[in-house]
Structure formats: structure tokens, C-alpha cells
């Protein structure tokens, strides 16, 4: 994201329209119990949590069917339902004018694979305007292929599974760990308790409070 003279420009490189850090906040909230422990114990808590988290995701992946992830599939289904309410006009080349019932009119370029609403470029999923164009092309007996082929590969189920190929290895108990040969003994840093009760809950944003 860049800001040129108060004009905010979002690049399509991230292939995501998520503007919040909720993923980090959820992960951080799961580690609260381990934060107050000594360093080694805290790291062990995080390692075991990651083992459990990866296994839970793999169990969900085994139940998934279809070429796209569950979240991408839900978005595509909504876009398919909305696309039926749009009127498509071809310009005789590679561009289409798509008009909707809510004064929603955009231009779709099927060669560049972009829409003027920019959702196709930003999210990597074909928006309702693009799907309306594909429906129009199919009605005119043009070869359009499967809808999921117009989605970016980051939304494919196989890509999601590939992200969880690497696992956290289990280890032996602490009693069986080898003793360090280094003569230097690392001592914990000096700690000074801050006044008041320590806060464990994250600070909520103004949008969440409303």
C-alpha cells in the first residue's frame, strides 16, 4: 500500500483483501498461558501448541472436497448468486461492460484478467462482474472452462495442504535432554513488577467496541 498525495493505492501482490491482524491476535491469545512461564517452558508450550494446531488443520483439510479452500468456495458461491443479476455488454474485443441493479457498472478485461472494481486483482477470486461475463460467454457457446481456473492458485485446496506439509517434530522429555558443555551459565534478566494488575487481554479496537 502506498500513499501518494492522500491517494491510497493497493497492489494486487498480496492476493488478499484482509486489512486486520486478527490472525496474529488469535494466535497471540492462545499463548497467554505460556507467556508467564520460564523461557524453556514457554518455548515448549508454543511447540506443543503448534503441533496440536497443525494436526487440527490437517483434520479439517481431510474433510474438504473441491478444488478450492472452504473460505474461497463460500465467497465464490456468493459471487455466483450475485452475478445472475447483472447485464453484460461485449465491446467486440476483450472487454465487457457489466451493469448491475444498484448503479454498479464496471469494466472487465478478460485478457488482462482485471475488473475495474479491482476485487479480482486484489483477492485473486473472480468477482461477481467476472462471473457475469463468464455466464454471458457460456450462453454464447464460448469455451470458458471451470470457474475455479479463474482463481489464483493461493486459494486452491492443494496449496493450503502444501503449507502444512512441514510438521513440528516431537521431542524426548526434559530429563533426557543432553547437558550443555558450555561453562557460561545464562541467568534470567532482572525483573521489576509494574504497578497494578498485569493485563492479559488484548486492547479492543474502536470498531470492536461499537
174 falls within a domain: no
- For residue 48, is it within any domain? yes
75 shares its domain with 130: yes
pLDDT for 171:
94
Query: Does some domain include residue 193?
Result: no
Q: Which of 173, 88, 208, 78 is nearest to 138 (CA)?
A: 88
For the chain, the domain total comes to 2
Q: Are residues 116 and 134 in the same domain?
A: yes
59 and 74 part of one domain = no
Query: CB-side exposure of 161: number of CA atoms within 13 Å?
Result: 13
pLDDT tens track for 97-111 = 999 988 899 999 999
141, pLDDT greater than 80: yes
What's the pLDDT tens digit per position in 151-166? 999 999 999 999 999 9
**Res 32: pLDDT:** 86
In a domain, 7, yes or no: no
pLDDT at position 85 = 95
Q: Is residue 136 part of a domain?
A: yes
Is the same domain home to 35 and 103? no
Asked whether residue 30 is assigned to any structural domain, the reply reads yes
This prediction's pTM: 0.76
129 and 154 belong to one structural domain: yes
- In DSSP notation, 90-106 reads E-SSSEEEEE-TTS-EE
- Residue 203 counted as domain residue: no
- Is 75 found in the same domain as 56? no
In a shared domain, residues 96 and 43:
no
Q: Of 5, 38, 63, which residue sits at a domain end?
A: 63
Q: Does the pLDDT at position 79 exceed 80? A: yes
Confidence check: pLDDT of 96 > 90: yes
Residue 45 and residue 82 in one domain: no
pLDDT at 201 over 90: no
Contact 87, 98 (CB under 8 A): yes
Q: What is the pLDDT of residue 2?
A: 47
Rounded Cα distance, 177 and 171, in Å: 9
133/155 same-domain check: yes
Average pLDDT over residues 175-186: 84
CA distance 58 to 167: 11
Q: Smallest Cα–Cα separation from 112: which of 98, 136, 130? A: 130
Q: State yes or no: pLDDT of 132 exceeds 80.
A: yes
| Co-location of 53 and 111 in the same domain | no
**What per-residue confidence (pLDDT) applies to 24?**
87
Residues 109 and 31 in one domain: no
Same domain, 56 and 106: no
Q: Tell me how far the alpha carbon of residue 181 is from its chain's centroid.
A: 44
Percent of the chain with pLDDT over 90: 62
Grouping H, G, I as helix, E, B as strand and the rest as coil, residue 11 is: coil
The 10s digit of each residue's pLDDT in 32-49 is 888 888 888 999 999 999
Give the number of other Cβ atoms within 10 Å of residue 22's Cβ: 10
130 is in which domain, residue-wise? Answer: 70-161
Q: Which band of pLDDT confidence, cut at 50, 70 and 90, is reported for residue 26?
A: confident
Report if residue 35 sits inside a domain. yes
pLDDT in tens, 45-75: 999 999 999 999 999 999 999 899 999 999 9
Amino acid at each position: 500500500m502506498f500513499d501518494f498525495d492522500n491517494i491510497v493505492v493497493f497492489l494486487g501482490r498480496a492476493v488478499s483483501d484482509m486489512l486486520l491482524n486478527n490472525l496474529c491476535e488469535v494466535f497471540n491469545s492462545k499463548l497467554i498461558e505460556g507467556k508467564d512461564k520460564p523461557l524453556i517452558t514457554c518455548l515448549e508450550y508454543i511447540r506443543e501448541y503448534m503441533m496440536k494446531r497443525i494436526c487440527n488443520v490437517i483434520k479439517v483439510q481431510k474433510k474438504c472436497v473441491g478444488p478450492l479452500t472452504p473460505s474461497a468456495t463460500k465467497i465464490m458461491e456468493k459471487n455466483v448468486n450475485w452475478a445472475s443479476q447483472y447485464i453484460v455488454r461485449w465491446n467486440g474485443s476483450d472487454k465487457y461492460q457489466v451493469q448491475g441493479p444498484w448503479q454498479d457498472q464496471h469494466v472487465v478485461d478478460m485478457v488482462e484478467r482485471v475488473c475495474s472494481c479491482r476485487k479480482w486483482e486484489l483477492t485473486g477470486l473472480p468477482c461477481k462482474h467476472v462471473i457475469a461475463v463468464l455466464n454471458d460467454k457460456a450462453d454464447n457457446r464460448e469455451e470458458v472452462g471451470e470457474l475455479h481456473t479463474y482463481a489464483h492458485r493461493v486459494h486452491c485446496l492443494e496449496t493450503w495442504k502444501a503449507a502444512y506439509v512441514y510438521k513440528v517434530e516431537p521431542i524426548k522429555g526434559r530429563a533426557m535432554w543432553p547437558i550443555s558443555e558450555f561453562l557460561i551459565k545464562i541467568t534470567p534478566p532482572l525483573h521489576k513488577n509494574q504497578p497494578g494488575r498485569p493485563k492479559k487481554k488484548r486492547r479492543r479496537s474502536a470498531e470492536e467496541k461499537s
